[in-house]
Copies of this chain bind each other. A is one copy, B any other.
Amino acid sequence: MPKVTIAQNILAANETIAQEIQRSLAARGICTINVMSSPGAGKTTLLERTIARLSGRLSIGVIEGDIETSADAERIEATGAETVQINTKGACHLEAHMIRDALEHIELNRINLLVIENIGNLVCPSAWNLGEDIRVVVMSTTDGDDKPAKYPQMFAASQVMIVNKLDLLPYVDFDLVKAKQQALAINPHLQIFEMSCRTGEGLDAWCDWLVAFARGNGLVPGEA
């Protein structure tokens, strides 16, 4: 009796499209990052600040994933970056075919870094390859230091972890050492950046790393 496993077929189809996207972008010299987090960890603010700081150093295109609204895409567009909005209308993650469609609306000759802001969800997006070179998970000091242990797939699937909202550390019960230890226990290769997108603390180190990443054609710089 033939057995059809739907979920696996969908993921396999996604993987095929994702690999096509990655090959196509690499052939144009475009590096791609997929930025993921729980809702409200600060992805959009991170992108706003990063684009502003990298003006003149990198040309950045952004695909904004949201279930509803175009509020985030409007914020990013105000920075001058090429921006495309994807509204998933209920779906909890982006899939590669959505990226393929969105790329038709970006002038790829004008960018050398593509940033995909995924749906705010610390679970589902980690299972879907979008053709990115690296995955960046953003956690915030207000999320709690137990999140790597409780959502391990996201941290296992990422190459970079950003700990955001350092400015709120005095007001929350968040053990930064513990959060980093938990994350590194799951994924010893994680590059970790600590920052406050609100105050700007730590943003330079991240931006310098991103430039090195983009100029290195998608290789992770500084990996031991």
Contact = CB atoms under 8 A, between A and B. Distances in A.
A147 interface: yes
Contact of A140 (B67, B92, B142, B147): B142
A150 interface: yes
Contacts of A71: 146, 149-150
Interface string A110-134: 0000000001111110000000000
State the copy count for this chain.
2
A124 B123 CA distance: 10
Given A142-B168, A149-B71, A168-B172, A121 B119 contact: no
Contacts of A92: 92, 121, 123-124
B39 A151 contact: yes
B168 A123 contact: no
A129 to B, nearest CB: 16
Contact of A150 (B67, B140, B144): B67
A123 B85 CA distance: 19
A193 to B, nearest CB: 19
A79 interface: no
Interface of A: 6, 38-40, 66-69, 71, 90, 92, 119-124, 140, 142-144, 146-147, 149-153, 165, 167-168, 171-172
